[in-house]
């Protein structure tokens, strides 16, 4: 392999304290009394693949599910995202990104995210990144092949030249691999078939094998 681009998930990876705090899609499905799988599909289409204000997104979400817009739903969505500005990157991970840039890797941030979730990635990181890709801006999530093609074209790199790191087994590991990228799962797992790391610093050792 010949890695040229190192891609980082944001929430749960670079911003490690991001949690649902009882505001998961399952909690939302319970609130509106709809099947989880149905709510999950509509939630991703509306909140992760489109732009808009809180009111616009909630209205579209309820319209697609054929349910009434309620204060409870608006409050749920608002509360889910309102604390995102409080999460900060730690200095060790900032230094890691600087290290990667100094060693001639392109660095990108790649996130399934909502426009309502304000990122607190520091300016010094934003300024040196080669691209920041949010699903809501591109209209696709990490489950869609098209988003990988968009990023590959923007970076002018082949799929096998990308390494993605993130904490979601499906969207940050299995899907990138399925689309031809290399990937590292960031977290503990018992499956020896899955390449994982427990600290982002371990990326350095992985890249030395390249």
Domain 5-17+86-208 in CATH 3.40.710.10? The answer is: no
Tell me the per-residue pLDDT of 102-141, one tens digit each, with 9 for 90 and over.
Answer: 999 999 999 999 999 887 899 999 999 999 999 999 999 9
- The rounded radius of gyration (Å) of the Cα atoms in the chain is 18
Q: What's the mean pLDDT when you consider all of the chain?
A: 92
pLDDT at 1: 65
* Pairing assessment for the beta strands 131-134 and 162-166 based on DSSP bridges: unpaired
Structure-block tokens of residue 105: 């890797």
Q: How confident is the model at residue 209 (pLDDT cuts 50, 70, 90)?
A: confident
Q: Could you report the per-residue pLDDT of 62-111, keeping only the tens digit for each?
A: 999 999 999 999 999 998 887 655 677 889 999 999 999 999 999 999 99
Domain ranges across the chain: 5-17+86-208, 25-82
Asked if 182 and 3 touch (Cβ cutoff 8 Å), the reply is yes
| Per-residue three-class SS string for the chain | CCCCEEEECCECCCECCCCCCCCCHHHHHHHHCCCHHHHHHHHHHHHHCCCCCHHHHHHHHHHHHCCCCCHHHHHHHHHHHCCHHHCCCCHHHHHHHHHHHHCCCEEEEEECCCCCCCCCCCHHHHCCCCEEEEHHHHCCCCCCHHHHHHHHHHHCCCHHHEEEEECCHHHHHHHHHHCCCEEEEECCCCCCCCCEECCCCHHHHHHHCC
What does the pLDDT average to over 1-23? 82
User: Contact, 2 vs 210, CB < 8 A?
Assistant: yes
Q: 50 with 57: CB under 8 angstroms? A: yes
The per-residue pLDDT for 117 is 86
172-192 confidence digits (pLDDT tens)? 999 999 999 999 999 999 998
- Number of neighbouring beta carbons within 10 Å of residue 209: 7
């Amino acid at each position: 392999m010949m890695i040229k681009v190192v891609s980082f998930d944001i929430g749960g990876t670079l911003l490690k304290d991001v949690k649902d705090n009882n505001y998961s899609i399952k909690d939302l499905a319970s609130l509106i009394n709809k099947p989880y799988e149905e709510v999950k599909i509509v939630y991703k289409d509306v909140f992760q693949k489109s732009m808009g204000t809180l009111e616009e997104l909630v209205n579209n979400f309820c319209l697609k599910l054929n349910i009434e817009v309620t204060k409870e739903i608006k409050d749920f969505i608002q509360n889910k995202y309102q604390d995102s500005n409080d999460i900060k990157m730690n200095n060790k991970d900032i230094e890691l990104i600087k290290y990667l840039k100094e060693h001639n890797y392109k660095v990108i941030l790649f996130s399934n995210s909502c426009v309502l979730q304000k990122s607190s990635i520091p300016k010094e990181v934003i300024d040196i990144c080669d691209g920041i890709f949010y699903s809501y801006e591109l209209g696709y999530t990490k489950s869609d092949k098209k988003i990988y093609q968009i990023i590959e074209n923007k970076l002018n790199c082949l799929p096998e030249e990308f390494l993605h790191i993130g904490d979601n087994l499906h969207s940050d590991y299995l899907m990138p691999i399925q689309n031809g990228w290399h990937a590292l799962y960031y977290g503990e797992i018992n499956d020896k078939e899955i390449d994982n790391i427990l600290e982002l610093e371990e990326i350095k050792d992985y890249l030395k094998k390249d």
